[in-house]
């Protein structure tokens, strides 16, 4: 009973993933494509949960749905890309695409059938870290990342830093004459600098200072 339920859930998620994947490339409206893509990500996250990899599922939702898909939406909506034009050559290139797909399939099949779980493979693969059933895999991954893989983790951080520096170097432009917010100046500003109390004589009005505040 329990098993059957998992099976049903699996097939629902798997079918949704495949169907929305197909719709991503066949939808006429690119915005709809991105929305289908988000659905595909969500269903794939569901599949991960079924596998017991809840951390990956969360990552998929946070990173892919939260960041990547939104970025795609921005690109689709902000840039003026003529998608019908892009799609024109599709039928023409179809045979080539099918051929490449077929080759990839054959390669994968070759690998799948020759792959054997030899003694060394089993022993080597088991060594990275014993899995304690009592901790969640988010915690287990965190413990591994900050101990055994601290070197890779830190270097990955440096790569991100370089990416940030690179993005600034390649796109930042100094614009002269832009009025920037100077928080220090704003905070230093006192009422005395801004206000002036004037006794207005009846019938004479006020002459405003010409300087703009």
Partner 1 sequence: MNGEIPALLPALPEIILAIGAMILLMVGVFRGNESFNQVTNLSVLLLVICAVVMVTEVGGERQVTFNNMFVTDAFAVFAKVLVYIGSAVALLISGKFLTEHKIDKFEFPILVLFATLGMLIMVSANNLMSVYVGLELQSLSLYVLAAMNRGRLRSTEAGLKYFVLGALSSGMLLYGISLIYGFSGTTEFDVLATSLSGEGTPDIGIIIGLVFLLSGLAFKVSAVPFHMWTPDVYEGSPTPVTAFFAAAPKVAAMALLVRAMINGFPGLIDEWQQIIIFISIASMLVGAFVALVQTNIKRLMAYSSIGHVGYALVGLAAGTQAGIEALLIYLAIYLTMTLGAFAAILSMRRSDGMVETIDDLAGLSETNLPMAVAISIFMFSLAGIPLLAGFFGKWFIFLAAVEAGLVPLAIIGFLSSVVACYYYLRIIKVMFFDEPADAFEGGHGRSVSIVIGTAAVLNSPVSFLLISSLAGAAAWAANSLLFQ
Q: At closest approach, how far in Å is the CB of 104 from partner 1?
A: 11
Rounded CA separation 80/65 (Å): 23
How far from chain centre, in Å, is Cα 43?
16
- Near partner 1 by CB under 8 A: residue from 4, 91, 111, 133: 111
Q: Is 152 in the site for partner 1 (CB under 8 A)?
A: yes
- Near partner 1 by CB under 8 A: residue from 62, 77, 90, 165: 165
Segment contacting partner 1 (CB under 8 A): 34-42, 86-94, 149-157, 184-192? 149-157
Q: At closest approach, how far in Å is the CB of 68 from partner 1?
A: 16
- Near partner 1 by CB under 8 A: residue from 116, 134, 181, 210: 116
Rounded CA separation 121/115 (Å): 11
**Alpha-carbon torsion 194, 199, 204, 205, what sign?**
positive
Cα 28 to Cα 2, 85, 130: the distances in Å are: 41, 12, 49
Task: Enumerate residues 6+ apart whose C-beta is below 8 A from 46.
Answer: 9, 13, 57
3-state secondary structure at position 177:
coil
Q: Which of residues 125-144 bind partner 1 (CB under 8 A)?
A: 125-127, 129-130, 143-144
Q: Which of residues 169-188 bind partner 1 (CB under 8 A)?
A: 169-170
Segment contacting partner 1 (CB under 8 A): 36-44, 45-53, 90-98, 163-171? 163-171
- Near partner 1 by CB under 8 A: residue from 122, 178, 198, 208: 122
């Amino acid at each position: 009973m329990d098993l059957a339920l998992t099976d049903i859930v699996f097939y629902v998620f798997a079918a949704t993933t495949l169907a929305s994947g197909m719709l991503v490339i066949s939808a006429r409206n690119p915005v709809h494509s991105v929305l289908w893509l988000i659905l595909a990500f969500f269903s794939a996250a569901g599949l991960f949960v079924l596998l017991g990899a809840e951390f990956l599922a969360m990552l998929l939702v946070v990173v892919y749905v939260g960041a990547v898909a939104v970025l795609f939406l921005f690109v689709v909506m902000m840039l003026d890309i003529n998608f019908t034009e892009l799609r024109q050559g599709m039928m023409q290139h179809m045979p080539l695409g099918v051929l490449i797909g077929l080759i990839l399939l054959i390669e994968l099949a070759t690998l799948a059938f020759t792959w054997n779980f030899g003694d060394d493979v089993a022993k080597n693969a088991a060594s990275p870290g014993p899995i304690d059933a009592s901790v969640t895999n988010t915690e287990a991954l965190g413990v591994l990342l900050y101990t055994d893989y601290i070197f890779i983790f830190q270097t990955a951080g440096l790569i991100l830093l370089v990416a940030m520096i690179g993005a600034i170097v390649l796109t930042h432009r100094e614009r002269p004459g832009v009025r920037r917010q100077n928080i220090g100046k704003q905070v230093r500003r006192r009422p005395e600098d801004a206000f002036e109390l004037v006794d207005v004589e009846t019938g004479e009005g006020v002459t405003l200072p010409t300087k703009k505040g």
